[in-house]
Amino acid sequence: MEPSAEAIRRLEDENSELRDRHLRLAAEFDNFRKRAARERVELGDRSQAALTVRLLEVLDDLDRVVAGGSSRGSDDPVQQALVLIDRKLRKELEAAGLERIDPIGSAFDPSLHEAVSVVAPPDPALDHTVSATYQAGYRFKGSLIRPARVQVYSTEGHA
């Protein structure tokens, strides 16, 4: 007994509907996998950034120790060891995505810098230029985690 044309058409429609539903579910699952992988990477980056933020004060302390020793021209082996440790730590943090912001001589950018003081510029062309960095800023994988605290040349407020 041969199935009727109507039954064949109905089965073909069901088959087509099931195939479409299967393709939609496969696409939804693929999107879910991609989103879950992206969220895992973002979580890892946020965790690394949080750890890096906690290490910034250590980096600041190392900056002060290294600057203090180099200004005295010390041949102290402990000072030399601290310089080597500082370089190695910074190299590893840079490889992980940490970028130091030390903007002396560049235009003041409020999205990257925090102005803590202003001074009159020695030359009017230097207006709104960073004259000194009090505390380096940092980015981690492109995201600002601490603005640089700077002194800015400004003609405003100075006569």
* Domain ranges within the chain, ordered by starting residue: 97-159
Q: Per residue in 64-106, pLDDT tens?
A: 888 877 666 667 888 888 889 999 999 999 999 999 999 999 9
Q: How confident is the model at residue 30 (pLDDT cuts 50, 70, 90)?
A: very high
CATH placement of domain 97-159: 2.30.22.10
Amino acid at 41: V
- Tokens found for residue 71: 């200004």
Whether residue 3 is predicted with pLDDT greater than 80 in this model: the reply is no
Taking the C-alpha atoms of residue 15 and residue 11, their distance in angstroms, rounded to an integer, is: 6
- Tokens found for residue 122: 């020695």
